[in-house]
Amino acid sequence: MPLCPASALDSDYDVCVIGAGPAGLACAFDLHDAGLRVLSLEAGGEQPVPGEPDVRAAEIAHPDCHDPIDIVAASALGGSTHWWGGRSIPFDPADFRHWPLSYDELLPWYDKAADFLGSKSVSESPAPGAFAKLSAFDAVRDECWGPELNMARRWRTRIRAAAGPAIVLGARVLKLERDGARISAAHVRIGGEDKRVRAARFVLTAGGLGTLKLLLLLQREAPSLFGGAGGPLGAGYMGHLTGTIATLEPADRTDIAAFATRPLGDGVFARRRMRPRAETIAREGIVNIAFWLENGSAADSAHGSATASARFLATRLMRFGRGEGALGPHIANVARDPFGAAAGLFNAAYLLAYARITGRHPRPTTLTPSGANAWRLDYHAEQPPHASNRISLADTLDSCGQPKLKIDFRMQDEEIEAVVRAHELLDADLQAAGAGRLRFAGPRADCLARVKAAARDGYHQLGGAIMSESAATGVVDIQCRTHDLDNLYLAAGSVFPSGGQANPTLTIVALARRLAAHIAAQAPAARTVAETVST
């Protein structure tokens, strides 16, 4: 069955969900299953359009710190899951130290979010060898991902089912219409025509930036909303710091296998991460941060791996010898372990064939060294909220005559220093436990410079409309309803009071499903749409 035509916008609904990414779809499905009439509006089509110059058009004050909008956000059915890495990682209890919501309160919803994503939420296993003796850090928690990362494909049957929420594509919400303390309608442009959509409740799931834009447009018409100018709306926009400044040298090479990708069953895979304990974060004043091992470059023969050298040589042969680097050291690596090289080539061929047949790219289940007994160590760290990082409306307009967003965002010395300090603490803990040590890329000043050079984001659009018990300090309450408007809710990274060490998708979907359950509990009131809207 095709998705709903534009005429579906002419009906009244219990709930209008704006955005059909993972949070929007999860919320719409749950609300529909609770017996509510649900309309889902998506500005994009079935596939992302390269560029998307108008849907989230923005001026970026510091382009060296924030990636272009056309590569960090996708307006399409399934949202950014068209190109995300699929990482499903719950926040740690320490991440909720700034939230009015606790880890235990959200934990059941993490499982529901993982079910929707086809992944797993909390996955832990004993740390290998001496890594079990770490005291300031641990190495028990995994990141997970499922077999299908694109939620539009995963839920294609449900999306097209005759009995389901009404999903309309190409429906761009230009603004929300306010009537006192309620939203009475959404103004939608579709196929060159403007329509007015009525619903008893509205849920914004249009990503961090898309959600903030609709709120900022509301505030422009009613300046006292959301704390007024200089208030919490748009303030404290956050991202994550990622990169690498060290390699890990284990005391026992056999421990490395426990850090490689492994299957959990049902197409779900996991990879072990190291992270600081809550008391370490509090005692040392560092940001929360996660570490994991990544493959070194196959082109660098210093890894000493017969498997990696065999893959490199095969690639050079397929390119008829074109490429950089001497072949002799790679040939020597292969000669030391010809059977391992053959097995590695077979595995690489299998992974290539699998990727071409399925369109998916499975992660290798072995780790290539970066040098002699050294493996590349990557990090993913939270950024604290800073008042100077703010999203606002620009003076320039997009093709619809709306103001573009203005993104004033940069990483601060505080978190750059904290990332390097966390590495130093991990190095000391590894050595004290007899698990190994870190090899830094250079002196401390060089490491700080490397973290700063890599300190950019935009993919994880967090904060700006945070959850708070008070309207003076936040935009939404603990149920993700806006403090100022009775029937407007948010399910986006915008509500995060802090970013944590984890990728945000699992937490966003958990909040979306939790929000759907909350709205469904108000179902008797929500079902009287016409009565609710007219009063």
Q: What value does the mean pLDDT take over residues 398-409?
A: 91
Given 421, 455, 489, the domain boundary residue is: 455
Please measure the distance between the N-terminal and C-terminal CA atoms of the chain and give it in whole angstroms.
Answer: 36
pLDDT at 8 over 80: yes
pLDDT at 397 over 70: yes
Phi, psi torsion values for 397, nearest 5 degrees: -115, 155
pLDDT digits (tens, 9 = 90+) for 260-298: 999 999 999 999 999 999 999 999 999 999 999 999 864
Question: 468 and 339 in one domain?
Answer: no
Q: What value does the mean pLDDT take over residues 461-489?
A: 97
pLDDT band at residue 531 under the 50/70/90 scheme: very low
**SS3 string of 455-473?**
CCECCCCECCCCECCCCCC
pLDDT band at residue 337 under the 50/70/90 scheme: low
Residue corresponding to tokens 């492994």: 262
Q: Are 209 and 73 in contact (CB under 8 A)?
A: yes
| DSSP conformational letter for 53 | T
Q: Are 28 and 40 in contact (CB under 8 A)?
A: yes
**Torsion sign (Cα): 313, 316, 322, 325:** negative
Q: How far is CA 511 from CA 27, 107, 232, 505, in A?
A: 9, 10, 20, 10
DSSP string over 146-198? -S---HHHHTHHHHT-SSS-EEEES-EEEEEEEETTEEEEEEEEETTEEEEEE
Question: 173 and 198 in one domain?
Answer: yes
pLDDT reported for residue 141: 97
For strand 275-276 and strand 436-440, is the pairing parallel, antiparallel, or unpaired? unpaired
**Torsion sign (Cα): 239, 409, 77, 474:** positive
What whole-number distance in Å separates Cα of residue 92 and Cα of residue 90?
6
Question: 251 and 132 in one domain?
Answer: yes
Question: 199 and 81 in one domain?
Answer: yes
pLDDT at 495 over 60: yes
pLDDT at 489 over 60: yes
| Long-range pairs for 223-232: beta carbons < 8 A, 24 or more residues apart | 225/484, 225/485, 226/465, 226/471, 226/475, 226/482, 226/483, 226/484, 227/471, 227/472, 227/475, 232/465, 232/466, 232/468, 232/472, 232/473, 232/474, 232/475
pLDDT at 334 over 70: no
Question: 159 and 113 in one domain?
Answer: no
Four-point Cα dihedral 136, 139, 140, 143, nearest 10: 120
Q: What value does the mean pLDDT take over residues 414-429?
A: 98
Write the single-letter amino acid at 240.
Answer: H
pLDDT band at residue 363 under the 50/70/90 scheme: low
Q: Half-sphere exposure of 141 toward its Cβ, with a 13 Å CA cutoff?
A: 21
pLDDT at 25 over 50: yes
Task: Characterise 451 by phi-psi region: left (phi > 0), alpha (psi -120 to 50), beta (else).
Answer: alpha
Q: Which percentage of the chain shows pLDDT scores above 70?
A: 83
Question: 257 and 136 in one domain?
Answer: yes
pLDDT band at residue 98 under the 50/70/90 scheme: very high
Question: 524 and 475 in one domain?
Answer: yes
pLDDT at 413 over 90: yes
Buried b (16+ CB within 10 A) or exposed e, 291-329: bbbebbebbbbebbbbbbbbbbbbebeeeeeeeeeeeee
Asked whether residue 435 is domain-assigned, the answer is yes
Question: 259 and 192 in one domain?
Answer: no
Q: What value does the mean pLDDT take over residues 321-325?
A: 55
Overall pTM surpassing 0.95 (yes/no): no
Least reliable range by pLDDT among 170-184, 321-335, 375-389 = 321-335
pLDDT reported for residue 53: 55
Asked whether residue 407 is domain-assigned, the answer is no
Q: Half-sphere exposure of 409 toward its Cβ, with a 13 Å CA cutoff?
A: 36
pLDDT digits (tens, 9 = 90+) for 170-228: 999 999 999 999 999 999 999 989 999 999 999 999 999 999 999 999 999 999 999 99
Specify the higher pLDDT residue, 349 or 500: 500
pLDDT at 18 over 50: yes
What is the extent of the structural domain holding 108? 87-148+240-295+364-382+412-455
pLDDT at 301 over 50: no
pLDDT reported for residue 354: 47
pLDDT reported for residue 344: 52
Least reliable range by pLDDT among 52-56, 370-374, 379-383, 398-402 = 52-56
**SS3 string of 238-301?**
ECEEEEEEEEEEECCHHHHHHHCCEEEECCEEEEECEEECHHHHHHHCCCCEEEEEECCCCCCH
Question: 153 and 209 in one domain?
Answer: yes
Asked whether residue 17 is domain-assigned, the answer is yes
Asked whether residue 394 is domain-assigned, the answer is no
pLDDT at 324 over 90: no
Given 401, 436, 455, the domain boundary residue is: 455
pLDDT reported for residue 332: 58
Tokens of 58: 């923005």
What whole-number distance in Å separates Cα of residue 28 and Cα of residue 18?
10
Instruction: Give the residue among 68, 58, 60, 70 at the shortest CA–CA distance from 405.
Output: 58
| DSSP conformational letter for 72 | H
Given 426, 455, 484, the domain boundary residue is: 455
pLDDT at 532 over 60: no
pLDDT reported for residue 307: 52
pLDDT reported for residue 83: 85
Instruction: Give the residue among 521, 526, 531, 462 at the shortest CA–CA distance from 490.
Output: 462
pLDDT reported for residue 534: 40
Least reliable range by pLDDT among 136-150, 203-217, 520-534 = 520-534
For strand 262-265 and strand 268-272, is the pairing parallel, antiparallel, or unpaired? antiparallel
Q: What value does the mean pLDDT take over residues 286-313?
A: 68
Question: 443 and 334 in one domain?
Answer: no
pLDDT reported for residue 70: 81
Asked whether residue 268 is domain-assigned, the answer is yes
Residue corresponding to tokens 């999203």: 391
Question: 358 and 317 in one domain?
Answer: yes
pLDDT digits (tens, 9 = 90+) for 117-140: 999 999 999 999 999 999 999 999
pLDDT at 343 over 60: no
For residue 11, the surrounding DSSP H or E stretch is: none
Domain count, the chain: 3
Q: Which percentage of the chain shows pLDDT scores above 90?
A: 77
Instruction: Give the residue among 336, 353, 46, 323 at the shortest CA–CA distance from 169.
Output: 46
pLDDT reported for residue 398: 86
* Mean pLDDT for all residues in the chain: 88
pLDDT at 103 over 60: yes
pLDDT reported for residue 296: 82
**Torsion sign (Cα): 498, 503, 505, 511:** negative
Asked whether residue 94 is domain-assigned, the answer is yes
pLDDT band at residue 393 under the 50/70/90 scheme: very high
Asked whether residue 38 is domain-assigned, the answer is yes
Helix (H, G, I), strand (E, B) or coil at 490: strand
For residue 12, the surrounding DSSP H or E stretch is: strand 12-18
Question: 249 and 354 in one domain?
Answer: no
pLDDT band at residue 2 under the 50/70/90 scheme: low
Tokens of 525: 């009131």
Task: Characterise 257 by phi-psi region: left (phi > 0), alpha (psi -120 to 50), beta (else).
Answer: alpha
CATH (domain of 520): 3.50.50.60
pLDDT reported for residue 360: 53
Q: How far is CA 298 from CA 356, 368, 373, 375, in A?
A: 21, 7, 15, 12
Asked whether residue 1 is domain-assigned, the answer is no
